[in-house]
Chains A and B, each alone.
Chain A
Amino acid sequence: MAKKPFSSRVRNAVFIVLSFLLTLILFLLSVCTVLEATLFNPEFIFDNMNSSNYFIDKSDEITTSLIDLGYASGLDEKFFDDFIDEVMLCDDTREYLDNYYSGNGAKIDTTDFKQSFNAELDKYIQENNIKNVNGKSRDKLVNKAAQIYRFSLEIPLFSKLSAYFLTAKNAMPFILVGLVVLAGVICVVLIFANKWKHRGVKYICYATSGAFLALGIIPAYLMITGKISHLNLDSRALYNMFVQSANSICIAVLFISLFFLLVSVGLFFLFRRMYKKVRS
């Protein structure tokens, strides 16, 4: 067999490196696209909250915590029957997410909650003819109940990561455009720098196959091992929401991975056709 000339081998190596760079860019582009469509999208979180029964579970959890507070402060369990209004919970969560995603901080306004708690408390004191009420102790009870409500609505690490999160979210559109341009440039170079176009197709096929493997391996591992279900969160509502969101993200990544597989198969057959044409 005739040995390939040195320049040809160097060219081949350069194209393989370019092909690898394309794999890396396609991988990052896919991850960034999924992030933009999921974590950086408040609608995604809110939709997952709705479909994972977040508000029903959360309402139960807050009620249980408030009943415990009631045991410590002389309030009957019945006081908290239907006390947590799911509409208020939903509105406050929506406001919390909107504030967070718009960069106004992860604030939860408990004014409505406190007003409604105070009104119910007045009614309870009157109905049960309770005389032993100390203003300071009552204020502490109302503030503690509001704190339980606020803590229950907060999403763990959201406020701590807000600076990084918002920076990444704001930069994401530029990163996406940059990656698309880079991927396009590399594809153009691979096609037009090769005299035989089928070789360009071959290098792009390597890149898409690499992207298929790199993207698919982690979600496949997570879904096969069930690692996501080992999330350790105190709140069942949050757990269900996070597991559902994580599964949705994994499925989205797997779909993109499958898309790259299809593209690779298509490119492979295109390469074969072009190759046969050249040989004939």
Chain B
Amino acid sequence: MSDKKRRHRHKKFDGKSFIILPIIFLFGTYIVLYLALAPSFSTIFSAAGMFFSDNKKDYSTEYENIFVPVSENSTLPTVTKEDKKSYVKNDAVEYPNYGNQFGELIIEECGIDNKLFFGDGEVALRNGVGIYNGSFIPGYGGTILVAGHNNTYFNGLKYAEKGQTVVIRTSYGNYEYRITGTAVKKATDRTAYDLNADYENLIMYTCYPFDELGLTDYRFFVYAELVSGTPIDKSTGEG
């Protein structure tokens, strides 16, 4: 090939290829990576889903308080159903999220007047007593299982006796229960409570013996039955 011809072939300087090819290489690299990692993609994405959330995590140890006391004379929006009973309208109930303070639990004879939380996590038990989130809120017609520490907010449970009154105040109504009995059971004893009960009942528990130093194997249970309080209309919504 003559020098002239060679020079002719070098004449055209194609600057576009310096932009287009790297972009193609970029996509090519990720296509190769995708093909190589495709078998483990579901694992990678589920792991990423575990480690990332939509919002920035809130590390505040503060809790949300949604409790607005209902005065004795105020009228709650209720609905009367076929059984001629009044029910609190479902949309009038602000259902608590895990960790919310949504009420108060009072047993005057035991000197107990505590904040009531939904969920029995560390923040709840640091500030009051908490309803196990696998049980029900007052008025829903199921078992309400309330936990508290025996050295702090539920220390007064040691004075609990049959016939005493327990009051739970929430933003959607006040509920009154009567203590029907107490029992000491193993912490692992699942017969101590029935979370599937189809009637409203309150169970409060704490570690036993009271005032002992250390982590104990036993729990002190206080059982109570519903005396008064307007049930929640469950026809719509969730509990």
A joins B in a complex: yes
Binary interface encoding of chain A residues 11-55 relative to chain B, with 1 for a CB under 8 A from any of its CBs, else 0: 000001001100110010000000000000000000000000000
Residues of A within 8 A of B53 (CB): 230, 232
Binary interface encoding of chain B residues 22-55 relative to chain A, with 1 for a CB under 8 A from any of its CBs, else 0: 1111101110100000000000000000111111
Across the interface, A74 reaches (CB within 8 A) one of B13, B22, B151, namely: B151
B21 contacts A210, CB within 8 Å?
yes
Q: Tell me what chain A mostly uses at the interface: helix, strand, loop, or mixed.
A: helix
Residues of A within 8 A of B216 (CB): 134, 137, 140
Of the 9-residue stretches B91-99, B193-201, B206-214, B221-229, which lies at the interface with chain A?
A: B206-214
Residues of A within 8 A of B217 (CB): 136-137, 140
Across the interface, B214 reaches (CB within 8 A) one of A137, A275, A279, namely: A137
How near does chain A come to B114, taking the closest CB pair, in angstroms?
13
| B152 on the A face (CB < 8 A) | yes
Please, which residue of chain B has its CB at the minimum distance from the CB of A209? B22
How near does chain A come to B216, taking the closest CB pair, in angstroms?
5
| B185 on the A face (CB < 8 A) | no
Residues of chain A in range 193-219 having any CB-CB distance to chain B below 8 Å: 196, 202, 205-207, 209-214, 217
A239 contacts B57, CB within 8 Å?
yes
Residues of B within 8 A of A140 (CB): 214-217
B22 contacts A213, CB within 8 Å?
yes
A75 contacts B51, CB within 8 Å?
no
CA distance A160 to B212 in the complex (A): 38
| A119 on the B face (CB < 8 A) | no
CA distance A227 to B216 in the complex (A): 44
**Chain A, interface residues (CB within 8 Å), range:** 35 or more
Residues of chain A in range 127-147 having any CB-CB distance to chain B below 8 Å: 130, 132-134, 136-141, 144
| A120 on the B face (CB < 8 A) | no
Please, which residue of chain B has its CB at the minimum distance from the CB of A280? B7
Summed over the interface, the residue pairs from A and B with CB atoms below 8 Å come to a total of 142
Residues of chain B in range 112-138 having any CB-CB distance to chain A below 8 Å: 122, 125-126
Please, which residue of chain B has its CB at the minimum distance from the CB of A227? B52
Residues of B within 8 A of A27 (CB): 29
Q: How many residues of B contact A (CB 8 A)?
A: 45
| B11 on the A face (CB < 8 A) | yes
Residues of B within 8 A of A139 (CB): 214
How near does chain B come to A79, taking the closest CB pair, in angstroms?
10
Residues of A within 8 A of B11 (CB): 279
How near does chain A come to B126, taking the closest CB pair, in angstroms?
6
Binary interface encoding of chain B residues 59-79 relative to chain A, with 1 for a CB under 8 A from any of its CBs, else 0: 101000000000000000000
Across the interface, A24 reaches (CB within 8 A) one of B13, B18, B29, B122, namely: B29
Residues of B within 8 A of A104 (CB): none
A230 contacts B213, CB within 8 Å?
no
Please, which residue of chain A has its CB at the minimum distance from the CB of B149? A71
Across the interface, B54 reaches (CB within 8 A) one of A137, A230, A231, A233, namely: A230
Please, which residue of chain B has its CB at the minimum distance from the CB of A235? B59
Across the interface, B57 reaches (CB within 8 A) one of A71, A210, A211, A233, namely: A233
Residues of B within 8 A of A23 (CB): 22, 25, 28-29
- Ordered nearest first, which 8 A-B pairs have the shortest CB separation? A137-B214, A210-B25, A209-B22, A140-B215, A213-B26, A232-B53, A214-B29, A138-B214
| B190 on the A face (CB < 8 A) | no
Across the interface, B51 reaches (CB within 8 A) one of A138, A214, A217, A232, namely: A232
